[in-house]
Amino acid sequence: MKIAMGNDHTGYSLKLEIADLARSLGHEIIDVGTHSSVSADYPVFGRLAAEKVLSGECERAILICGTGFGISLAANRMPGIRCANCSDTYTALLSRRHNNANALALGARVVGVELAKMIVEVWLNAEFEGGRHTDRLKMIDEDMQV
């Protein structure tokens, strides 16, 4: 699968590790930057990666900033993106099974490299269950008011 990767300066070194892991699992990485540890704005790179998913060029995106939260906010502003900020494997698993998350955000200051790799591997291998979850996603997409 093609995976867009975007990060700010804080996520640069973790991105390199995650990209290597994804490639070793047979995935192709489209790296939208940033490409160094020089200060960079996470909204730019969250949006660039999300655009790759929305255009169909990539099936999913992996985003990395200090906490994962800021870059997930930037990506989730784009209709059609369901970005899960995960710091554990269980949330990563269910974000795919129940929410069909098409983007994953990681916090480079929150999770270590090995845990991040486990989260990514679980997330990449998990499949959407559909069923009742499809109806709930339709509610979100329709901006249902309750």
Active site residues: 65, 98
H/E run at residue 5: strand 2-7
DSSP 10-65: GGHHHHHHHHHHHHHTT-EEEEEE--SSS---HHHHHHHHHHHHHHTS-SEEEEEE
The CA R_g of the chain, rounded to the nearest whole Å, is 14
At 144 the three-state DSSP class reads coil
